[in-house]
Structure 1
Amino acid sequence: MLTWDLPSLSCSFRKLLIAVCLIVISFTASLVMAQQLPPVDATTLDGKVMCGYQAWFRCPDDGTNSAWQHWSRRPTITPQSMTFQMWPDLSEFTPSEMYAVPGIKYPNGRPAYLYSSVHQKTIQRHFQWMQQYGIDGVFVQRFLVNLRQPSFDTILEHVRTSAKDTGRTFAVCYDLSGYPTERIVGRLTDDWKQLCDERKVTRDERYLDHDGLPVVFIWGLYPDRFSADIAHQLIDFFHQEGPYRATVVGGVPPDWRSESNASWASAFGKLDVISPWNVGNIERRGGKKIANTHVWQQDFAAAQQAGAKYLPVIYPGFDWTNLKGPRAERDTIDRRGGAFFWEQFVAAKKLGSGMAYVAMFDEVDEATAIFKVTNDPPPEANFATYEGLPSDWYLRLTGEGTKMIRGETPLADRIPIQP
């Protein structure tokens, strides 16, 4: 058996060994604490901080026949074809979850890997992180344009299992982007009926309810995309008595209050929860980009007047130059070490809405991800990083922000933890 004689070891090695031991002890303690935490209350949106969960990343050989979906703009992947902005940290992943990227290596010369959202172990791992860091759960995306892909049904089942195993909560978010307008109502309502009748998703004990009804998020209720009649049909479907009734969260434009079309304004007024999309909505202050939160108070008041809850959108930063090209560099929003993110948590707490939506858990395409991202991505392409901060930094910040919004910790104008 190998034993250590600490006095005989060099000072530097002793320090390294002690540091490693402390890290292991800290990580083990955090896991034990996570296991002891009670399950998230899935009966209300009040007091919740929910994350958007894209789960749209695919790899060859993951069983979906999707090639490098959302990693590359082509079926193959090269430095020039990569569309994502942050390289996920896969240091905790098992070999079965990692898919080698041909010809790409990490700075240390080892082969580089990516992951597939369809893998059960990967979704389980993401939910374990949520549990470990005190994140309530996710709105799992169902893109109407992709509903023909069986993999999104598989992902939903993995989410259900993982939410149960970790005591997290989840709800469905329908994204209307890019779908033929004349088919939106039929496609979405048919899918919801199938989820309710055949797969019993809304009866799942981990499915998020509010006011005694399952929650459904409809993202993309934008007047410049389709007529108000479509919005009314969707909202009315979920509000009619019967087995498909739900509490409707509406993802609306940031300028929803100034909508001049009376029918669209009426549709917004029917929503149970109003959530204006705020990603990219900024103001400049002292040479820095600041999230535009000064409109939240008026939004909140207008939502209350309509009898609705208000769900502010919080995001950590933004960058999509790999996806859109060099000209999109002007759209980049610096994370400022987490300060950009935390300022929004503070604004949400002061607002008093008692809830928030973090965009997003896993969105590395637009660099809004909060999950673990590596600071040492392959050098073959230009990737954003956490600038030397720990890969779990934004998971930690989200957990701290959640506690602050719930009133479990006092209001802190500055980040209350250290990297």
Structure 2
Amino acid sequence: MQSRATSLPHRRTVGLTLLLAAGVSLLLESPLPAQPKPVTDATTLDGKVMTGYQGWFRCPGDGTERGWLHWSRRSTITPQSLTFEMWPDLSEFSSTEKYAVPGFSHVGGTPAYLYSSVNKETIQRHFQWMQQYGIDGAFVQRFLVNLRDPSFETVLENVRVAAKDSGRTFGICYDLSGYPTERIYSRLTEDWRDMCDRRKVTRDERYLDHDGLPVVFLWGLYSDRFDAKLAHRLIDFFHEEGPYRATVIGGVPPQWRRDRDPQWAAAYRKLDVISPWNVGNIEMRGGEKIANTNIWKEDQVAATEAGARLLPVIYPGFAWTNLKGPVAQRDTIERRRGDFFWEQWVAAAKLKTGMVYVAMFDEVDEATAIFKVTNDPPTQGSYATYDGLPSDWYLRLAGEGGRMLRGEVPISEQITITPQR
């Protein structure tokens, strides 16, 4: 079935991109691999491993005046105020990337540090990790509730530079959560026009396109949050001929196919790419929590019938006891040393989805992060770790899973790499 989007002349400057991707950032102290991964083709979602990038962590001293945003529920930080589950591994970070955490120390008394997402060096580092481990790029989370916060503009601009320097691609993911329903349409469309006209983000050579159009990800198209009329208005805006037209990915509930509201059913099927949010959607097998990937086959059939593509959501595990309290222990989904993650890669590869969305790169609040996390967190507080596995284990699994997805290596039910340092 033909795509809804028509092909447009492409604007990439390939030679410049190759030159930039071959360089090594002088900002980072740790060396890059001798043979970095090839430059990501930013003209299509096909074959892509994309990850979500929250970019919402702040620290005192980073110039934002937001305190310990997303690290602590208060302006100060204590073991009781923590809102994150995993302590990031900062062993490779430069001194200008690390922010001292008062009252926190590692075994032996070594001072503890956290990072700020507005720090340009840190975003460069994260995108170079993506390059090193074969992750194609990131959807930068753009929360409607934070559009007035200039620090999120800084994050986006730093992502643009980091994507260019690392040869990765990026796209914008609008998160509709928590924003007044009556203002969603005007606020979101106003911002997209600004992205296209004044800031020219969608014309960036590293911005992700698909079917000749820039990609926009709308997360939170849920029937229990607002009515279908708004969903239709948003999708129609991006499908209208003109300078703001885009390929629309919809972040929808896992039960999207069974929605009984005919207007919502129609809205879901107007999307160009359907991405059911599968985090927390589990089944029990042998006493263990397993990601429910059985629904993907029917999801793919329904998407194809609607002329859309399926973008499965893959995640490594889940926990949020520091954020929600001890009662939330029941929600924990154990990583099982990577097996939980790998099983989803196998399912996507068998189904030949051709694209995957990894949730998330840096989300330590809900313990879905795949970036480097320490096994030796501070002694103050309680944290999840990678159970003694190397801090880059899940980055490596994502890279290898991507190779399996693209058919570069055979499908294997068992993890094909070893956790050697």
Same fold flag (TM > 0.5): yes
Q: Secondary structure at the match of 2:81?
A: coil
Distance 2:214 2:412 in 1: 33
**What is residue 13 of structure 2 aligned with on the other side?**
none
**What is residue 126 of structure 2 aligned with on the other side?**
126
**What is residue 416 of structure 1 aligned with on the other side?**
416
**What is residue 369 of structure 1 aligned with on the other side?**
369
Q: C-alpha displacement at 1:352, in angstroms?
A: 1.1
Q: C-alpha displacement at 1:98, in angstroms?
A: 0.6
**What is residue 213 of structure 2 aligned with on the other side?**
213
**What is residue 34 of structure 2 aligned with on the other side?**
32
Alignment pair present for 1:222 and 2:222: yes
Q: C-alpha displacement at 1:285, in angstroms?
A: 0.2
**What is residue 337 of structure 1 aligned with on the other side?**
337
Distance 2:400 2:353 in 1: 17
Q: Secondary structure at the match of 2:173?
A: strand
TM-score w.r.t. the length of structure 2 is 0.92
Q: Secondary structure at the match of 2:66?
A: coil
User: % of aligned pairs identical?
Assistant: 72
Alignment pair present for 1:405 and 2:415: no
**What is residue 135 of structure 1 aligned with on the other side?**
135
Alignment pair present for 1:116 and 2:116: yes
Matches within 5 A, 1:207-356: 207-356=207-356
In the alignment, residue 149 of structure 2 is paired with which amino acid? Q
Distance 1:382 1:307 in 2: 47
Q: Secondary structure at the match of 1:244?
A: coil
Distance 1:393 1:121 in 2: 22
Distance 1:80 1:38 in 2: 44
* Residue deviations 1:12-47 (CA, integer Å, cap 9, x gap): xxxxxxxxxxxxxxx96x71111xx43100000010
**What is residue 16 of structure 2 aligned with on the other side?**
none
Q: Secondary structure at the match of 2:35?
A: helix
* Residue deviations 1:48-98 (CA, integer Å, cap 9, x gap): 010000000001111111000000000110000001000000000011111
Q: Secondary structure at the match of 2:387?
A: coil
In the alignment, residue 396 of structure 2 is paired with which amino acid? R
Distance 2:108 2:202 in 1: 47
* Residue deviations 1:316-368 (CA, integer Å, cap 9, x gap): 00000000000000000000000000000000001111011000000000000
Distance 2:65 2:113 in 1: 18
In the alignment, residue 31 of structure 1 is paired with which amino acid? P
**What is residue 187 of structure 1 aligned with on the other side?**
187
In the alignment, residue 382 of structure 2 is paired with which amino acid? N
Distance 2:379 2:169 in 1: 37
**What is residue 41 of structure 1 aligned with on the other side?**
41
Distance 2:38 2:386 in 1: 31
Distance 2:402 2:348 in 1: 10
Q: Secondary structure at the match of 2:257?
A: helix
Distance 1:289 1:38 in 2: 36
Distance 1:308 1:267 in 2: 12
Q: C-alpha displacement at 1:120, in angstroms?
A: 0.1
Q: C-alpha displacement at 1:413, in angstroms?
A: 1.0
Distance 1:353 1:129 in 2: 24
**What is residue 8 of structure 2 aligned with on the other side?**
none
Which structure has more helix as a fraction of its residues? 1
Worse-matched range after superposition: 236-245 or 104-113: 104-113
Q: Secondary structure at the match of 2:317?
A: coil
**What is residue 105 of structure 2 aligned with on the other side?**
105
Larger Rg: 1
Q: C-alpha displacement at 1:375, in angstroms?
A: 0.1
Q: C-alpha displacement at 1:311, in angstroms?
A: 0.3
* Residue deviations 1:228-280 (CA, integer Å, cap 9, x gap): 11101100000000000000000000000000011111100100000000000
In the alignment, residue 196 of structure 1 is paired with which amino acid? C
TM-score w.r.t. the length of structure 1 is 0.92
In the alignment, residue 404 of structure 1 is paired with which amino acid? M
Distance 1:354 1:384 in 2: 32
Q: C-alpha displacement at 1:107, in angstroms?
A: 1.5
In the alignment, residue 119 of structure 2 is paired with which amino acid? H
**What is residue 382 of structure 1 aligned with on the other side?**
382
Q: Which structure 1 residue ranges, 5 or more long, are not aligned?
A: 1-26
Q: Secondary structure at the match of 1:165?
A: helix
Q: Secondary structure at the match of 1:216?
A: strand
Q: C-alpha displacement at 1:293, in angstroms?
A: 0.3
Q: C-alpha displacement at 1:108, in angstroms?
A: 2.5
Q: Secondary structure at the match of 1:225?
A: coil
Distance 1:407 1:324 in 2: 40
**What is residue 155 of structure 2 aligned with on the other side?**
155
Distance 2:203 2:244 in 1: 11
Q: Secondary structure at the match of 1:100?
A: strand
Distance 2:153 2:229 in 1: 29
Distance 1:210 1:148 in 2: 29
**What is residue 165 of structure 2 aligned with on the other side?**
165
Q: C-alpha displacement at 1:407, in angstroms?
A: 1.0
In the alignment, residue 338 of structure 1 is paired with which amino acid? G
Distance 1:334 1:38 in 2: 33
Distance 1:131 1:371 in 2: 12
Distance 1:200 1:110 in 2: 45
**What is residue 20 of structure 2 aligned with on the other side?**
none
Q: C-alpha displacement at 1:202, in angstroms?
A: 0.6
Q: Secondary structure at the match of 2:269?
A: helix
Q: Secondary structure at the match of 2:361?
A: coil
Q: Which structure 2 residue ranges, 5 or more long, are not aligned?
A: 1-29
